A and B are shown apart, each in its own frame.
Chain A
Amino acid sequence: MSHKMNTEQENMLRNIGIVDFVTVEMTEYLDTHPFDREAMEYFNHYMRMKNQMMRDYAVKFGPLSLSVADTCSKEWKWALQPMPWEGGC
C-alpha cells in the first residue's frame, strides 16, 4: 500500500514538521527555563503558526490531528488519511 502525494501536500507536510520541531524544542527548553519570556514569545509565535498550518492542511488534504477533524463532510476523513510510516511524510 503506497500513497502518492503531490508536491503541494509534501511541501505543506514538510513545513508543518519544521514549525512543529521549533515548538518541541522550545517546550523542552522552557521546562528547565520556565521564566524566559523571550522563549515563551518564540514558542507562542510558532505554535500559532503550526495551528494555522494544521487547519490549512486539513481543509486541503484531511486532518493530521483529531483537533482539526471536520465532521461536516460526508466521510470520516481521519480514517482515510495515509499512515505516516508509508513514506508519505
Chain B
Amino acid sequence: MWNYEKRLQFPVKITQPNAQLAQVIISQFGGPDGELAASMRYLSQRYTMPYNEVAGLLTDIGTEELAHMEMISAIVYQLTKNLSMEEIEKSGFDKYYVDHTLALWPQAAGGIPFNACVFQSKGDAITDLTEDLAAEQKARTTYDNILRLVHDQEVCDPIRFLRAREIVHFQRFGEALRIVQDKLDSKNFYAFNPEFDRCKC
C-alpha cells in the first residue's frame, strides 16, 4: 500500500526548454539503468527475500525510486513544455513527437521502449543484492554521463541530487548483502539458497 504526497522529493524548476537534452535524460525514466527499472527491480525482489530488514530496505528504496522517476519525468516534461514546431523539428524530437506528442513514455535515449528484461528478480538473495549493487553503480555512471552533457544549472541541480542517492543506495545494499552473508555459512555462502531451499544442508 502506498501514500502519495503532492510534491517532488527535490525541486525541479526549469525555465529554458531543451528538447535535445530531454531525449537524453528520458533514459533515466525508461532506459536500462533508469528509475522505473530500479523501482520495479526492488519492489519485485522483496516478496521472497527471507530477511525482514532486507525486504524492508528493498521496499523503502523501491519507494524512493518511484519519487526519482517522478523527478526525471518532471525534468523531461519541463524541458519539452511549450515547444514550437520548429524547435521540435530542429532538435530531432520529431521522432518521439510523432508517437507521443509531448506526453511522457518510458523509453531509453536511443528510442528503445522500456522492457522488464533490463532487470532481474532471480529469487536468490546474494544474486539479487549483487544485481542491486551493480544497478546503483550503472545509474550513477549514467548520471555522470548526463552531467557532462548538461550546462543548464536548473537541470544540473536535481540530476546531482539523484546521482548522490545512487551512492547512498549502493552503501545500503552493501550493508544488506553483509546482513545476508552473516546469516549464512561463511565457509560456503552458496551451500543453499535461503529464498528456496528449506534445509540448511
Contacts and interface: CB of A to CB of B under 8 A. Distances in A.
Interface of A: 13-14, 16-17, 20-21, 24-25, 27-29, 31-34, 63-67, 78, 81-85, 87, 89
Interface of B: 3-14, 53, 56-57, 60-61, 64, 70, 73-74, 77-78, 168-169, 172, 175-176, 179
A31 B172 CA distance: 9
Contact of A16 (B4, B7, B56, B175): B7
Given A28-B64, A29-B172, A31-B57, A65 B3 contact: yes
Contacts of A27: 60
A89 B73 CA distance: 14
B6 A64 contact: yes
Given A28-B57, A32-B53, A85 B73 contact: yes
A32 B74 contact: no
11 contacts: A17-B11, A28-B57, A28-B64, A31-B60, A32-B172, A32-B176, A82-B6, A84-B7, A85-B70, A87-B74, A89-B11
A4 to B, nearest CB: 12
Contacts of B8: 17, 84-85, 89
A41 B11 CA distance: 27
Contacts of B6: 63-65, 78, 81-84
A17 B175 CA distance: 26
Nearest to B82: A2
A63 B6 CA distance: 8
Counting chain A CB atoms within 10 Å of each CB, the highest count among B7, B10, B60, B176 belongs to B7
Closest 9 CB pairs of A and B: A85-B74, A32-B175, A31-B57, A84-B8, A87-B13, A89-B7, A65-B5, A81-B6, A31-B56
Contacts of A25: 168
A65 B7 CA distance: 9
A28 B61 CA distance: 7
B179 A32 contact: yes
